[in-house]
Structures are given as structure tokens and as C-alpha cells.
Structure 1
Amino acid sequence: MQLAESFWQTVPEALQNDNALLTTVTEEHRRIYTSYFKYDLAVNHALPIMTHAFRRLDQWRVFLLLTPWMLARLFIPDRDPGLPVPPDWQPQACIGRDYQVIGPVFDLSLLIGKQKAHLNHSPAIGHYLLHPLILSMLNFQTPQEVFAAWNQV
């Protein structure tokens, strides 16, 4: 992983491959589930952790992430996007810190228009942006129901 002057930690070289990135994101969120949500009654333990609808927009790899606690759109850049990382979100400040679903908000200008997304960090992935779409997953039985509900919005 490289650390740019903006303190943005980019993905490791091994995750430049799209399939490797998606696998690592899934594995990292399985670890988060086991560490933070495994016994939480407010999450839907019947739902899997999976990625969906991968695409590239400018320098961003964009896809949906389904977990038992949320459906979110993730934005992971190929290189430092030049966004200023607040001191408490710089990589050294994140070491050993508990998982946080929502970090500071950023505005993104993409081909599809302006987007708002929240900063997040994972030791395995680096910095990325997360746009929560659904945060209450208890009413869904299957991933297909989640994606169908999101498509109706």
C-alpha cells in the first residue's frame, strides 16, 4: 500500500486486480461481521456478505456491498483521489480502532453526477468511500429481495 501526501492509503498492489479486490472486500467484511456483528440482534444473519454490480467510473471501482447490517455502494480508487484525510482517519490513527460504519462525508464528482460518500478504512484495503443505501436489513429474506428493494428507490 502506498501513502500519498493527502494521507490517502491506496489499495495494495495485489488488489489492482478487480477480482482480487472484490474477494478481499468480501473477506474483510466477513472478518468485521465475526468481530462486531455476529451476535447483534439488529442485523439479519440470514443474509450473506457479497459484492454486486461492479463497474469502473473514472479512476473509481464502484460496486454494491451487501452485508447482514447494510447495503452500501463502495468507491475504491485506483490511485490517490486527492481527498484530504482528517487526522483521526489517517492510517496510523486507524490502527487497532474499532470498526466504524460511517466516517466523514465527502462529495464526489463522477460521470454519473455528484455523489456523497463516507470515508472508511481497512488495513487490508486501505481508504475507500462508502455510500450507505439500506441500513435496516431485518425485513429481507434474500439478497434478491434487497437488490429489488433498492432498484425501486
Structure 2
Amino acid sequence: MATITLGGNTTKTSGELPEVGTAAPDFKLASKDLSQVSLDNYKGKRIVMNIFPSVDTGVCAASVRHFNKDAAALEDTAVLCISRDLPFAQARFCGAEGLENVETLSDFKDGSFGKAYGLEIADGAFAGLHSRVVLVLDADHKIIYEEQVPEIGQEPNYEAALSALN
């Protein structure tokens, strides 16, 4: 379990993030059209996973906007914004914001992604949601960067995450 904070209050996650250098666990997530997506959908592509509690919070929305701006310049890279929000809410947000360079994916059905990646919030007000995490995978889907943001209300280190792609 990782220890993080929410508004300064200590909370825990369901486990530990997969380690840098290991293969990313496969997943099954819902896309905006409710089709099922897995790692196989991104064969040969690098992946930036921007994972957060809910797109309807200020910091989460800011991270999606930031990665959308940066993603336009990335080649052979998919930027996945992952939360437990319903796919409809994710699509509404991206549509209203004009965000076209990121892909939103939802773990709303059973939370299996959050559990497999050890990032589900285990207690407190956000229990069951995802903690704020950025993972970067190479084209073979090995983890080359990870960040468990220590305070849920803080933005991730965008520069460090994107520099891992160089």
C-alpha cells in the first residue's frame, strides 16, 4: 500500500504501482463508445497513462488539458486519460473542451484496472476511485516512468513524465 494524502489527510492505496522496467499489466477499460479496450489496442505505440480520480475536479481536468496540449507533438504515442468516471462524462468533458489528442478510458465497471495497478484509493472520502498516477510505457509496454502523486490535489510532474519518452 502506498500512503498519499487528500487535502492533507492521510489515505492509502490498494497496493503498490508496478515497478519501472516491468511489463505493464493488461487491462480492460471502456472507451467513450463503450467498446472494450486493452493494451493490445496499442501494439507498437508508446503510452502515457494519466490516471486520476474524476475529470469533474479541477486538478484532474487540468491534467487532461495539459496532456492534450503536449500529446499533439508526440509521435507513435497514445495518451490515455483513465478514471472511474462514466464514459459519457469523459466524452462530454473532452467535447466541451475541444480535446482531441487524448483518449479517455473508464474503469467504471469493476475497478479492475485500479486494483491490478495498485492505485485504487482504499479509504477516506475518495475510496474506490483512482489515485493520481502517471505511468509511461515504451513501445513494448514496459514501464519506463511512474509517479504516484503524493497529494491528490497536486498536478503531476508533466515535464518528467514526457522526458521519459526521449
Same-fold status (TM-score > 0.5): no
Q: Which has the higher contact order (CA 8 A, sep 6+)?
A: 2
TM-score (norm. length: structure 2):
0.27
Higher strand share: 1
Highest CA radius of gyration, 1 or 2? 1
